[in-house]
Structure 1
């Protein structure tokens, strides 16, 4: 099986790994991202017949619609949408958080995802394709400093479930993919470029990789068309569940 997949956030991490995984299997890939030089490098690596690069900011809803409407004929029949692009704000508690940073995350992770999905749904319905939405274990398990990011990922999960209801009878499959710790550029971006913080987070714990998740996404996309994975949660074996916090000796 092969087709055409539209991948948001294809310039690094899970998005770039997925572009390579699908292209290696003969798929055509439309890859979006804000960093033109990375998209051009990926297009050069995979070849113009395999990857169509789209420089796109997920916060620009008008640009999203124009980009989808202007897809070249060779890439116009989209079978699968991988909503991978996402941001996380710094991990300050909400009482200290920067509102503008939070808004950027909401606009990217929620508004942009909805806009891309809405723009592509007519094509995906026509092809009886699939929508793969990258959520997170943060959608289920809370942690200090994660309110906005986790809230957006909970939206992605619920959006996926309800979109599945809307797609009833169309043959379109919808999946919420909810990974735990995967070592990519995610933490470096979240900490403003602090590679040492990223290295410390993943040290000695054997995290998942972008390639691990790309393989999982490829498996979901290429299942027989009568099967739907509603949600899938993945963690490295070295990650599990934390206990509740208890504050002691606090003044009333």
Structure 2
């Protein structure tokens, strides 16, 4: 099974195109990192993939099924979206936040099976001790774990994350990305994430998509796409790219 995006284009209110003719494939268990300068449409693209935004043209399909023909509840059983980290939160408890992931499956009330799934995920994400804590009393890394747990409660085939390491310290950046990588490998979940840190992208992404001027600038295996020439063209900065422990390492030059 795979997620197929074909010739996707998008504009806001019939204005200039933000995205033009975007086509790519994300297979089960694969992590795709989306790179690009601010304002290049990274968040717009992942919202179009999840049908939070409706593309002007093109198709997003999973396992051959056009998502545009599915209901929001059906889409939520296929895809889970984790938005970009923000600083303001309601006083919702972790367990209630994660339980929201069961809404696509729940009737008028949550079943015992829903509750069992949620508490199993809390255990897997090392959130049991925080289950009855309010989100606004937790660290950024703990909240991000709670939001990923909520996404997992949807039992999706694909998880989409918008800058999952934004505003996190180095320890929590690595913890979150290791968690995401293990989920992709062990549960065969497709992962799409926007990310700014090129070295983290090199370490954790199987494929890289570079966006520039509304279109795909480069797309392919991470270790092939992350080159000095591509980085210079994308960001107008000079770098030295070396290979360490099997991954590209990008160092900025003065």
Structure with the greater relative contact order (CA < 8 A, sep ≥ 6): 1 or 2?
A: 2
Calculate the TM-score normalised by the size of structure 2: 0.33
Higher helix share goes to which structure? 1
Higher normalized strand content (fraction of residues)? 2
